[in-house]
Every structure is written in structure tokens, then in C-alpha cells.
Chain A
Amino acid sequence: METLLLSFKNGGLHVTPGREITIDEVSELKKSFESILTEHQAPLVLDLSGVGFIDSSGIGLLAALNTRMKNAGRLLVLRKPSPNVRKTLELVQLLPYFEIADSDEELIGLLQNV
């Protein structure tokens, strides 16, 4: 089962997934996020700095999370996506769709605007 690390920092709930977000992990991750989003109302910071590989199922999960958060008037920030994650987001033309923080200063700025 996929383990998510959770922590609170600068007013955001930071969630750190494992090394990969693929079809193999997505159904478990969906359940975990369902529980996290129900229990917590803080902006969600998804730390993608350590994710070395993401496939279209993982991208679909991020898109669904973003849509859900936006519809609820809440903020989802992707923190420091790794080069491979950024490349895949770019490939599917979704970079402009997400709030992305490439530094902690950017992240704090986004969280302060909530």
C-alpha cells in the first residue's frame, strides 16, 4: 500500500507521496486523498520533488484533485515537481492548469494569498 507522509507547514497541509505515481498506486492514493480532503480543510501542498516517475494515471489523479479543490474554493499547490514530473505535465499540456511552487518562497507566497 502506498504511504503518504503528512505534515503541516506555513498554513498548508504538505503531502509527500512515494517515488512513483502510476496505475499501480493510483487507486490506493485516491482512497488516501479522499480521507485527507474530508478530514482537513487547509490548502493542500503536494510535494513532488521526490517523485521520479508519473504516468497518465498519476496525471489523471492530479487533475481530479485540482478540479475538486478548485470547485471547493480551495488551493492545491504542486511543490517542486521533479524534472521528470514537470516534463510529463508539459507533455500533456497541463503545466498552466496547476499552481506550481518551484521554491519555498513561492510556496509561502501562494499560501499567504489564501
Chain B
Amino acid sequence: MKPRFRLQCRSCPKDGRKLVKAAVCLLGEYLADESLLHDMELALTEACANVILHAYGLSPEGKVEIVVRLKPGRRLALEISDWGRPPDKLPDCEKAGPADAESGRGLFIISKLVDRQSRSCCGGKNTLVLEKDVPEQAWKPSC
């Protein structure tokens, strides 16, 4: 059976941070690689921050959802969803941007941490799917 978890919170930075920590805690039940856990925590943090800032404009009235899907020994997928403003045309996330920029690094960071990403907007729900191939040795033996 493939493990799958769904977590939700209000769209404010404090709750978003708690949501990410809860998702990483669940990942930690399956993954033994601390560096990979940090990378996934960072990718999720950036994705949730984008939702809170851009989809909801920092209004705490929205909902943020993370779905964690695991295929032990193979890969993991993180789905980050919101019901706010759909994303505009995505900016170029291939470049790190100017060194003195105060913002605009989130998508670049995500692109460096995952192997694949895709977006969908359906029925008012916007979802970003992040996928990471995870080698067998990075999983806990019990998986």
C-alpha cells in the first residue's frame, strides 16, 4: 500500500510553517536522509509561502493543503493546493536573480530541489505537484 497523507491549514505564515513541519514529520517516518528532509522542508516552505503571499495576498481566510504521496524505495510527491487567485504566467525560475534582491528566489529554490514539477487549476483549486526521485538507501529499512 502506498502511504498518502492530507494536511490543511489557514493561509497565514505561522500556520503554514506548522503545516510544513507536520508534513516533514510524516516524511521523517519514512525517510532516513536528513539532508533530503531539509530539502523537502525548504521546497514545501517556499511553495506554501507563494500560496499565502500570492494566491491569498496574506489574507488568513484561505485554506492551504499539502498532500504527501510516497512510493517507498522509489519516489515521493508533494501536492500543494489553494483555492485563491490562480497563478499568473510563471516567471523565469532558471536564474537565481540579482544578489541584492530581497525577494523572488522561491521558485528558483524549488526548481533546484525537486526532479519534476507541474501545475493545475481545476474547479477553483490550484495545485502544484513536486516530485522527487528517492534512492532506496534514503528510505528507512522498515519501509
Contacts and interface: CB of A to CB of B under 8 A. Distances in A.
Range for the number of chain B residues in contact with chain A: 20 to 34
Contacts of B41: 53
Contact of A93 (B46, B49, B96): B96
B108 A63 contact: no
Instruction: With a 10 A CB-CB cut-off, give which of B41, B52, B53, B106 has the most chain A CB atoms.
Output: B106
Interface in B99-141: 99-103, 105-106, 108-109, 112-113
Given A22-B45, A55-B46, A60 B17 contact: no
Interface residues of A, number: 23
Contacts, number: 64
Instruction: With a 10 A CB-CB cut-off, give which of B13, B45, B53, B109 has the most chain A CB atoms.
Output: B45
B77 interface: no
Instruction: With a 10 A CB-CB cut-off, give which of A55, A59, A64, A88 has the most chain B CB atoms.
Output: A55
15 contacts: A20-B17, A22-B13, A23-B16, A55-B49, A56-B103, A57-B49, A59-B105, A60-B102, A60-B105, A63-B102, A67-B100, A84-B38, A88-B109, A91-B113, A94-B99
